[in-house]
Amino acid sequence: MPEPADGELWTVGAVILDARGHAFAQRRSPDRRLFPDTWDIVGGHVEPGETLLAALAREITEETGWRLSRVRRLLGVSTWTGDDGLGQRHEADFLIDVAGDLDRPQLEWAKHSDFGWFGPGDLHRLRENRAPGECLIHDLVADVLSAGRG
């Protein structure tokens, strides 16, 4: 498990699969500073002093109303720079299981405008409104789906 160092900015992300093996994504609102009107997995920034898993559990509940029930595995760590002037971030993405009604996520409607479940035939939609080369979410979900149920 990665350990954030002092002064580093970290984010966490969660790939959540339903019973059909489709991955959950939510569309960021068009007025969001980072990646407006794009599809994203559940996740967000790690607060100072917070562990990656505590941040993951908090973000899942805040963004969907679901509860983290199991971390299947760490999918990887990537580094990216947003256009918000905060500089470089490290992102730890996980394949997880949640408890809750998967048909009725409780989205933060001020931050997200839609949600969907993405199977192999829907993956192209994860590139909507992304700049060329911004394929992190698409590629992450595609890797999970190509590996089966994880």
C-alpha 42/C-alpha 26 separation (Å) is 7
In this structure, the number of other CB atoms found within 10 A of the CB of residue 7 comes to 6
The reply to whether 20 falls in a domain is yes
The reply to whether 1 falls in a domain is no
- Would you say how long the chain is, in residues? 150
The reply to whether 15 falls in a domain is yes
Asked if pLDDT for residue 77 goes beyond 90, the answer is yes
Query: By residue range, what is the domain housing residue 56?
Result: 9-146
Domain count, the chain: 1
The reply to whether 3 falls in a domain is no
CATH number at 96 reads 3.90.79.10
Asked if pLDDT for residue 2 goes beyond 80, the answer is yes
Angstrom distances, CA of residue 51 to CA of 48, 55, 58, 65, 77: 9, 6, 11, 20, 15
Mean pLDDT value across residues 86-91: 88
Whether pTM exceeds 0.85: yes
C-alpha 27/C-alpha 7 separation (Å) is 29
